[in-house]
Chain A
Amino acid sequence: MSRKVGDVILDVQNISLAFGGVKALTDISFNVREHEVRAIIGPNGAGKSSMLNCINGVYQPQHGSITFRGKTFKHMNSRQVAEMGVARTFQNLALFKGMSVLDNLMTGRNLKMRSNLLMQAIRNPFGIGPAEREEIEQRAVVERIIDFLEIQAYRKTPVGRLPYGLQKRVDLGRALAMEPQVLLLDEPMAGMNVEEKQDMSRFILDINDEYGTTIVLIEHDMSVVMDISDRVVVLDYGKKIGDGTPDEVRRNENVIAAYLGVAH
């Protein structure tokens, strides 16, 4: 890991989330340091996605708060979070199936685009109004991401027609298009074979290296987690059972018990 890890950028304090009688998260606290790669692991149903959803404003926790860059929030609003520079990918790929790859990535630039409705309506190649110039500028930014993710051949293809591995890359690309400071990745390697996983790991590390983006990632593949993460949080049944470097967590008895079961 070449980039120096900085101060705490995201601090999750005592988050509890319940759906009716089901307690998804109970009193979870951990922090994330700037520029690091933080993994969240745990058996299925541990509440990992719910945790990301709380950070992201998709779910509102009943208790607890989240501090981002010094500002504390009890309830996050999705758009606010996006404006603050947090982007994410989804476990089940929330891509816009009706649009091409290029258009999907361009939606990620939405926050940066300034032309209002009227200007967009009179868009023209003659230089009147800012809309055409802005589209071209944003297109250039998105094309750099397309180059980075090596999906040039597919840019005009409707995403619904792409194979799963490529769709995952588009999901990542859309999150990257938001120029995030923190990137939440929800099982980015699910359903991939070994080569695809290597590609994806390379992308994630490159993003962390080149742009200094802080990465919070949910992943099941232990070898990947141990390889690329700086620190790991372990959840089980909505509770935190481990927090530390990959080596510390690997030796933690509670973690071993949760994954492998305890001998009776």
Chain B
Amino acid sequence: MLYRENGQFKTTYRADQQIFPILQDRVVVLLFVAFAIVAVPMLASDYLLRAILIPFVIISLAALGVNILVGYCGQISLGSGAFMAVGAYGAYNVIARIPGMPLIPALLLGGFFAMLFGMFFGLPSLRVKGLYLAVATLAAQFFADWMFLRIKWFTLDNSSDSAAVSNLQVFGYALESDASKYLFCLAFLIVIALAAKNLVRGAIGREWMAIRDMDVAAAVIGIRPMYAKLSAFAVSSFIIGVAGALWGFFYLGAWEPAAFSVDQSFRLLFMVIIGGLGSIMGSFFGAAFIVVLPIALSQALPAIAGLFGVQISTSALSHAELMVFGALIVWFLIVEPHGLARLWSIGKEKLRRWPFPH
């Protein structure tokens, strides 16, 4: 009743090829974005911004990047943490070593370094695929771990072995408050997400999906597997690198290589799987899920235990988190391997028919 496409006829290809062809979708998304930009900074508490919203915005950007590589192009990567690290350390070095370097170019340069790194470690994809490729990407992960830990140059040879940023400003405006940091990161997310959506619905996106679905047939059509795979690595690691720089600058403030370890790589992969492979929307769902889950658990589990009069220690809580996490992954894979995005479109299908059963 509400979600009918009746009467929405498209008379041009342009209209048919819009990002959100259904009017209701467009309205809802625009409202949501407006809400995110205007209402949230006013309404959200500092805690909410700092603990949930800012990390959500940044990590969904990273998940987007991972989805392009894993979901659209079908190249399994377990090295996303390393790409984030290269972005973060790259941007950090640019800002710290070049006096007067403005913030936005520094962040983009971080992404650029991550892109080069990603393309280099993506070269094995031209020879191997599947599990073997996943292992090759782990080489990138461990190499980056070592590189940022042992090569002092990256942390400006300072004694603490960590990188730290402060006094971030853009166009002379100091990004001090949580709200301003949130809006800055959100701006990056919106612009990059739009560009990413354009890429995946265009020619290169179809090339990526062709490689994912059947790379021999793709070659026969004239698609160059090398170009498609390396471009997927390039775009993906650029986005992940920018996200890494944002993560270090705006969420962590100060960090060590452990912040971008293989655990982070797995976290990103789970976001993309739970959210939905090959879906931009899915990246957001997955990121929201993974960001909110630990917090929800840390509130819910003690409450439930309290009902039974049992106290839960913090270590027991972290163990329980691991168990719930693992069980949820398995559950999702059994029930809906295409992730939350698929559940979302099934929901929309049902909404089309509502209130009729079929």
Contact = CB atoms under 8 A, between A and B. Distances in A.
Judge A-B direct contact (beta carbons within 8 Å): yes
A110 B217 contact: no
B42 to A, nearest CB: 30
Given A94-B217, A98-B213, A125-B14, A83 B235 contact: no
* Chain B residues touching A, majority SS: helix
A136 B204 contact: no
Contacts of A96: 209-210, 213-214, 217-218
A136 B220 contact: no
Interface string A194-214: 000000000000000000000
Contacts of A24: none
Contact of B207 (A110, A115, A123): A110
Interface residues of B, number: 31
Interface stretch (B164-172, B221-229, B316-324): B221-229
Nearest to A106: B206
B314 to A, nearest CB: 43
A139 B14 CA distance: 10
A178 interface: yes
B2 interface: no
A82 B206 contact: no
A97 interface: yes
B219 interface: yes
Contact of B221 (A107, A115, A121): A107
Contacts of A111: 221-222
Contact of A98 (B198, B212, B220): B212
Contacts of A58: 216, 219-220
A57 B13 CA distance: 35
B209 A103 contact: yes
B220 A110 contact: no
B203 A136 contact: no
B220 A82 contact: yes
A82 B222 contact: yes
B326 to A, nearest CB: 28
Nearest to A175: B221
A237 interface: no
A79 B222 contact: yes
A127 to B, nearest CB: 11
B209 A79 contact: no
B278 interface: yes
B14 A121 contact: no
A120 B202 contact: yes
Given A94-B214, A110-B223, A120 B206 contact: no
A107 B220 CA distance: 11
Interface string B240-267: 0000000000000000000000000000
A230 interface: no
Contacts of A110: 203, 206-207, 221-223
Nearest to A118: B195
A224 interface: no
B60 interface: no
Contact of A117 (B199, B214, B221): B199
B311 interface: no
Given A106-B206, A110-B221, A117-B231, 11 more contacts: A79-B223, A82-B220, A94-B214, A95-B214, A96-B210, A106-B203, A107-B221, A107-B223, A109-B203, A117-B204, A178-B222
Interface of B: 12-14, 17-18, 195-196, 198-199, 202-204, 206-207, 209-210, 212-214, 216-224, 231, 235, 278
18 contacts: A58-B219, A58-B220, A78-B222, A82-B220, A88-B220, A90-B217, A94-B216, A94-B217, A96-B209, A96-B210, A96-B213, A96-B218, A107-B206, A110-B203, A111-B221, A136-B12, A136-B17, A139-B17
